[in-house]
Amino acid sequence: MAINLQKGQRIDLRKQSGDSLTNFCVGVNWGAIESKALFGLSKKVTSVDLDLSCIMLNSAKQVCDHLYSPLYRQDVLKQFGLPLGKLVTREGALRHSGDDLAGDTGGDDGLDNEIITVDLSKLSADVEQIYFFLNNVGKEDFSQIPFAKIRMYEGTTKSVKEVFASYNVAAESQYTGRKALIMGKLYKKDGEWKFNAIGDPTEDVFFGQTIQRLLQSYA
């Protein structure tokens, strides 16, 4: 049975069998904004382009690798001292499925829009923390987006074998004006990997600001 995480909850990456969870997917699902138009006779759909990203920190709390969209402009990245985006980490331990520019229409389809596959056995030994976060490229804030959900599961980008844990972020008033969401982190403690559901919305308008925030306030 999957664990339904609450904000701030920490869990061990162990299955009911007692085996460690080392190969899994971190998937994020969200919806487009749908509203009635023309006196309710038609429907207006506003695409929502969220970007799932992650950074990896070493024991010195320095960024040692990253996954984020290759579509980010180099001149903007340079303002934050960031390298170009990529979809595979250096050892191939983490892989990103690529950008979803729209979100679900017609309600939640139960599938993840963007997915990062994780193989902890391939991680460099110096990696101690991995932060997962979302940034909205558009003008909307999280109070307008119908849903955003993160889950950890065994499977692939195309099929789910078994859900290990899920964390639902509903549209709430606290997200008004907030365009970024620090979702959670994997961290190593006493040689064991654990997960912390953070769930903090921020007012960052560019994901470089979110990375700065993570390093200054969370690492």
pTM for this entry: 0.90
Question: Which pair of structure tokens corresponds to residue 39?
Answer: 């006196």
pLDDT of residue 17: 78
- Summarised one tens digit per residue, pLDDT across range 188-209 is 998 899 999 898 889 898 999 9
| pLDDT-above-70 percentage for the chain | 96
> What confidence score (pLDDT) does residue 172 get?
65
Q: Per residue in 71-110, pLDDT tens?
A: 999 999 999 999 999 999 999 999 999 999 898 888 888 8
Give the DSSP letter string of the chain.
--EE--TT-EEESB-TTS-B--EEEEEEEEB-EEEEETTTTEEEEE---EEEEEEEEETTS-EEEEEB-TTS-HHHHHHTT-PPPBSB-TTSSEEE----SS-BSSS--SS-SEEEEEEGGGS-TTEEEEEEEEEE-SS--TTTSSEEEEEEEEE-SS-EEEEEEEEEEE--GGGTT--EEEEEEEEEETTEEEEEEEEEEE--SSHHHHHHHIIIII-
- pLDDT-based confidence at 185, cuts 50/70/90? very high
Task: Name the token pair of 149.
Answer: 């959900």
- Select the CATH number that applies to the domain covering 3-218 from these four: 3.30.390.30, 2.60.60.30, 3.40.30.10, 1.10.150.20: 2.60.60.30
pLDDT in tens, 32-82: 988 877 766 778 888 999 999 999 999 999 999 999 999 999 999 999 999
Measured from the Cβ of residue 121, the count of other Cβ atoms closer than 10 Å reads 10
